[in-house]
Amino acid sequence: MTLRVGVLGARGRMGLEVCKAVDAAPDLELVAMIDQGDVLFSASDNHAEVLVDFTTPDVVMDNLRWAIERGISAVVGTTGFTDDRLAQVRAWLAEKPEVGVLIAPNFGIAAVLMMQFAAKAARYFESAEIIEQHHPRKLDAPSGTATRTAQLIAAAREEAGLAPMPDATKEEVDGARGASINGVRVHAVRAAGLLAHQEVIFGTDGELLTIRHDSLDRVSFMPGVLLAVRNVQKHPGLTIGIDSLLD
């Protein structure tokens, strides 16, 4: 028996890669490819059991509501999930307790490890800043990965009872010190030639630690996407990240 998978955003950079990965997996069947309302491909007898969404932050909530209402589980890589949006997804899922939704800011295994290492290191350093670097066609900043990393670092610092980071700088130009996410500075670089990269810089007296991750090809996200597709129905409710599937 194969698991029937539909892809939303199928013409996009990630969507195309997901379609190829699903198509190549013997236990999965690609039954629908949809992009901006165009059904590019549909095996009409077989509706999708799991939808994968790599679209844009402005449409992903409508897609999710549509899927949940129909009892279809979803794997979501699209960014832009605020706390309010996550609360809304939980509210929809409360009406459909059998449905699973997995939202991950990054499906790359090395990226997940980078976030875990950053969370572990955070308590030992006075200072922490994030530099994310992406291709210039990326629509949002800061990246979902940087936002999640900053949240994890801030939570670890709070749990350890650390004081606010030392910083005497007055911004002479707005934005010079980047964005602040829960007190962690995040700097977003956009340049041709980049794909998806992040450095987390930790500092304390006489010592620096830099944790760096590079996605050099979108195939890097596919093992994590397929892992989520294969498991999302076994995890009803909302799951954030693929960490729990890797343990």
Residue stretches of the annotated binding site for (S)-2,3,4,5-tetrahydrodipicolinate: 135, 144-145
Give the residue carrying structure tokens 């800011």.
Answer: 105
Angle at 8 between CA 181 and CA 105, to 5 degrees: 20
x-or-dash string of contact with ligand NAI, 110-139, rule CB under 6 A: ------------------------------
What is the chain's alpha carbon radius of gyration, rounded to the nearest angstrom? 19
Q: Of 20, 120, 134, 197, which is the active-site residue?
A: 134
Q: With binding defined as CB under 6 A, does residue 213 bind ligand LZUJQKHR?
A: no
Select the span of 43-51, 99-107, 119-127, 227-235 touching ligand NAI (CB under 6 A). 99-107
Residue 217 burial (10 A CB sphere; 0-12, 13-18, 19+): exposed
**Do residues 137 and 190 make contact, with C-beta atoms less than 8 angstroms apart?**
no
Segment 177-216, which members bind ligand NAI (CB under 6 A)? none
Active site residue 96: no
Select the span of 10-18, 42-50, 84-92, 116-124 touching ligand NAI (CB under 6 A). 10-18
x-or-dash string of contact with ligand LZUJQKHR, 92-131, rule CB under 6 A: -------------xx-------------------------
Beta bridge partners of 61: none
**Do residues 53 and 8 make contact, with C-beta atoms less than 8 angstroms apart?**
yes
Q: With binding defined as CB under 6 A, does residue 31 bind ligand NAI?
A: no
Minimum separation from the CB atom of position 45 to ligand LZUJQKHR (A): 34
Active site residue 134: yes
Q: What is the dihedral of CA 183, 180, 190, 226, to 10 degrees?
A: 60
Q: Candidates 21, 101, 106, 200: give the one binding ligand NAI (CB under 6 A).
A: 106
Distances (CA, A) of 196 to 78, 91, 106, 125, 128: 14, 32, 10, 25, 20
Which residue's CB is nearer to ligand LZUJQKHR, number 48 or number 105?
105
Question: Exposure pattern of 170-208 as b/e (b: 16+ CB <10 Å)?
Answer: eeeeeeeebbebeebbbbbeeeeebebbbbbbbbeeeee
Can you give the binding site for ligand LZUJQKHR, defined by CB under 6 A?
A: 79, 105-106, 134, 138, 143-145, 196
